[in-house]
Amino acid sequence: MRRLSVIAVILVGMGVSLGIAAPAGAQDDSADAGVVDIVEVNGLIDPVIAAHIIDSIDLVEKAGSVGLVFQIDSEGSVIDDEALADVASRIRSSDVPIAFWVGPSGAAARGGAVELVAIADRVGVSIGSEVGDMGSQRIPEERFGVLFDDPAISLEARTMGHEQAETYGWIGGRSAATLGDFLVDLPGVEIVEVERGDEIRRQMVTQVRFSQLSIVEQLMHTVASPPIAYLLIITGLALLVFELFTAGVGVAGVVGATCTALGCYGLAALPTRTVGLVLLFGAFVAFAVDVQTNIPRFWTAAGLVAFTAATFLLFEGLWLGWVPAVVGLIGIALTFLSGMPAMVRTRFSTPTIGRDWMIGEMGVAIGDVDPAGTVQVRDVPWRAYTNRATPVRAGEPVRVTGIDGLLLEVEPEQGGARDYREMRGPKKETDPKKETDPKKETDMV
């Protein structure tokens, strides 16, 4: 198990349900009663969870644990059939007894998760939880047999609850309503019976140890869920589009790149449709076309249509949920219909400078302008371009010679075509009849 943080916990004072507090005489023997490990498996079984299951088995085998219990709540598996079969093989070949407990109440094991549960040595289902909706068996029948060969308990298209699991012997004829109830019935777990009034309660002497994913593994597992991957990728792409039309690399660019990278990892771990991916990335290309004009036009409308289609076609066999879908659709629509144009205009404009007055204004090149780059005029950054024959290096002064939307045409202070500042004043007229002083003409020569 990769860098698992294993915390030794002795459950105290909870009787049968979680009770492991042994009486004084039993406490002396608890060190010799062994340890049973509990590992949580929550969410879709992705590459992170699959590796976690295998690593957990390796660890308990080396530690010599009495047993390993996976507390599972999973809607299915997103790994391929071969990877799922590898996990199943490791469960089947374990030297330590493997058990699955579907809980707490309200939990479920569906899809590929059901297949892993079915091959375990022991299974428990809590009250209010269910197992089923397996679909077609994915792990090879020649290696694992038919998982539900009894038509009475076929779970391909239906679910089974706590009572049915108990009826069909999945939980050994005893109640598995709570994790504690399930643990005390596991083979190899030592218990003592304690009288409390008129009741005789069973308490565990065997110690219990809980394990969980590391922080990095938890992050990657969270990212590999449909709603999180969807929201990360659209947030990242929106921020990158914004950064394309701003000067330099700012916070938006860094955050956008991070979100996009995490979102791409999530999409890679999940089953996606090619058409959905093409529509998603194509939508943001269309958005970018209109952002540079600061006016939502045809390409914004085309982008919204493509983005809506991508939302519903992105994942194959999975649904990200209505809440993230609605949030994504409304958020992107507001961003590119009003928010993005307003932000870009604010970033590249100032109320103190009229467009007519900018002709002839002096500024400085923030970076090389050859032929495109960024300049600063009156402390405001602007995208700019110059003639290829007159490139401007970073730090050199420039003069504004024209404006095209939010794009400035500039030239170097020295070597430009002409000084546009001289054009602001009224043109001086010369009197052709006025006599020319020969001395002045000689001096000028």
pLDDT of 445 above 60: no
pLDDT of 72 above 70: yes
Q: Answer positive or negative: Cα dihedral of 77, 80, 5, 30.
A: positive
The answer to whether 409 and 400 have CB atoms below 8 angstroms apart is yes
Bridge partners of residue 160, in order along the sequence: 131
Instruction: Tell me the average pLDDT across 373-377.
Output: 86
Burial class of residue 242 in the structure, from the number of CB atoms within 10 Å of its CB (0-12 exposed, 13-18 middle, 19+ buried): buried
pLDDT of 395 above 50: yes
Instruction: Tell how strand 35-42 and strand 207-211 pair up.
Output: parallel
User: Residue 354's CB: how many other CB atoms inside 10 A?
Assistant: 8
Question: What confidence score (pLDDT) does residue 13 get?
Answer: 36
- Choose the weakest-confidence range: 31-45, 52-66, 159-173: 159-173
Instruction: Tell me the average pLDDT across 220-227.
Output: 92
Q: Which residues contact 277 (CB under 8 A, 6 or more apart)?
A: 267, 310, 314
Give helix 226-244 / helix 340-347 axis angle, nearest 10°. Answer: 30
Instruction: Tell me the average pLDDT across 395-405.
Output: 85
The percentage of residues in the chain with a pLDDT greater than 70, rounded to a whole number, is: 76
Mean pLDDT over the full length of the chain? 79
Instruction: Tell how strand 159-161 and strand 98-102 pair up.
Output: unpaired
Q: Locate 18 and state its tokens.
A: 């979680």
331: left (phi over 0), alpha (psi -120 to 50) or beta: alpha
387 or 170: which leads in pLDDT: 387
Confidence at 376, pLDDT banded by 50, 70, 90: confident
Confidence at 10, pLDDT banded by 50, 70, 90: very low
How far does CA 153 lie from the centroid of its chain?
Answer: 37
Q: Which stretches does DSSP call E strand in 253-406? A: 362-365, 372-377, 380-385, 397-404
Question: What confidence score (pLDDT) does residue 150 get?
Answer: 64
